[in-house]
Structure 1
């Protein structure tokens, strides 16, 4: 570990433990490890968001914006208003997304909302100030590659635990109120946006917008396996009780604990018994979960599986702490 980084982590750990008397060396080492995990995960998330902002800015200014194209979601609404009003797209991205970010603070978490605000602010600055080159005027290429880079940006921002298009947050919220999947709600929202595009601009523009949206959606799915999907997480670790407490008390998530045995054992030796933890989360919560598990056990065995939709339980009712 870098000497300067190590010094910073040691001082951070000492400051956090200074209220405790007779701090054991093991406590200090554990706190240093926790700080290191938090820092590494934060840097990774910042990198993902930065790549996402750059890619989305390129898709908007290199393809869509110069040719008066629109997309779905909050970005599509911003583009549609920009085409009709000539207000700066950077300002519109902020104004249109603010209500969704406030909703995200309630639906997902405050940290998620803060990251998303910074991501959208960075995108607005990039769109306003960075002179991206205009790549092509061919409408088909604009729709396909503009959608691809925009989808890449949205997907990478999600990998960093934030969004740069707030309609996903609205869809998550409404899915908890209605008996519909998030994907169905996103489809309805975008149908309204494309219908408005057909009325205000032209049917041809709306058709190209649908193509742009499909390209973006497929790219997002490729990058993050779909925001509309829940993820079932199975965790096997000798520190299963600490992980269970973290899930239920720190993250506010329900989980199921069941007994299991290791399948590998030499002849004549007993197989190791352990408790296995199973929980379900949305894709946007996985970055936080990964950070918290690494703090407890970096060698934990984790299996994740995509779940299209769920019913019952607490996941659709209780926001992440």
Structure 2
């Protein structure tokens, strides 16, 4: 009996892993296609740049005339090697495959000029490239290795990942302004903003989750209201207070924690205030959730 249960458990794990690998493969394939459309259909014909390693590749292509597909591989190669140590071998292999696939598409496909409008080129070129990068990340790989380098630098210095990427791109666009033109650099900044916002949307979605932590003497009543009236799950932590004369008055005070969407926050706060206007409430954003009573995003 135990062997059957164990075999069934092993089979279930293998099925989950297979489904995850198929989903990752689909994300990476679609991501590579989107990125190649952004590059060949918008940015490359108009000498526009993006941020990160892709921006470096485009800048080198403009200045040297070398094949962009070759530059994409060469520029990202050091980041892949860093990724083996900083992330994992499987991540590095997936990234290498995705980057080689992107370089191959950029070399092989030919797209007609979609538009000559510089604003549309910057916005939609950034959109397609950002979609490609975001989907590749969702698939467990990267086609722009700047974040891998940023993680390495952040671990060895006081800079955060965001700080490093910002400094890196400021330097890149400054070089572009000197070597090409200020106008090109400005449009490239717009491309980068479009790409980064698209990446955020693909990774985080439009429906932002908010964690709400509440400390109140009326914890049971608040818990009952949130679970029954609002239909939201809630977790209770036991705590010990420590402020002023009342610090030890409630050694078994409860902390309530729930996760809601951004649109539900006002409703939850209103119900808490009705019960206890002096309740201590903390809010903070949550990137994603899984399981529980929160609806799972379809692409996660």
TM-score by length of 1: 0.64
Q: Which residue pairs with 1:91 in the alignment?
A: 70
User: Does 2:66 correspond to 1:66?
Assistant: no
| Residue number in structure 2 paired with 1:10 | none
Moved more, 124-133 or 184-193: 124-133
Q: What are the equivalent positions in structure 2 for 1:104-123 lying under 5 Å apart?
A: 104-123=83-102
Name the CA distance, whole Å, in 1 between partners of 2:39 and 2:161: 25
Q: 1:139 is matched with which residue? A: 118
Structure 1 residues 83, 40: closer, same or farther in 2, change over 3 A?
Answer: same
- CA drift at 1:206: 0.7
Show the 5 A alignment for 1:197-236: 197-225=176-204
Match of 2:147 in 1: 168
Q: RMSD across aligned C-alpha pairs, in angstroms?
A: 3.0
Q: Offset at 1:178? A: 1.8
Q: Which residue of 2 aligns with 1:78?
A: 57
Which structure has the greater CA radius of gyration?
2
Give 1:133 deviation, angstroms: 2.5
Stretch of structure 1 that moved more, 216-225 or 54-63: 216-225
Change over 3 Å in CA distance of 1:34–1:81 after alignment to 2 = same
Give the gaps of 5 or more residues in structure 2. 212-222, 229-234, 238-286, 296-300
Separation (CA, whole Å) in 2 of partners of 1:104 and 1:301: 33
Displacement of 1:177 in angstroms is 1.6
Q: How far, CA to CA, are the matches of 1:113 and 1:85 in structure 2? A: 28
Q: Which moved more, 1:146-155 or 1:128-137?
A: 128-137
Residues 279-318 of structure 1 mapped to structure 2, 5 A cutoff: 301=292
Q: Aligned-pair distance for 1:134?
A: 2.0
Q: Distance in 1 between matches of 2:236 and 2:187?
A: 57
Question: 1:185-242 deviations in whole A, cap 9, x for unaligned?
Answer: 101000111111111111111111111111111111111139xxxx999xxxxxxxxx
Q: Offset of 1:273 from its aligned partner?
A: 11
Q: Deviations over 1:249-268 (max 9, x none)?
A: xxxxxxxxxxxxx9889xxx
Separation in 1, partners of 2:3, 2:79:
45
Matched residue, 1:29: 8
Q: Distance in 2 between matches of 1:194 and 1:155?
A: 22
Distance (whole Å) between structure 1 residues aligned to residue 171 and residue 37 of structure 2 = 26
Q: Matched residues in 2 for 1:165 and 1:73: separation?
A: 7
Compared CA separation, residues 158 and 135, structure 1 to 2 (3 A): same
Q: TM-score, normalised by structure 2?
A: 0.69
- What is the aligned residue count? 225
- Over 3 Å counting, the alpha-carbon distance change for 1:179 and 1:130 in structure 2 is same
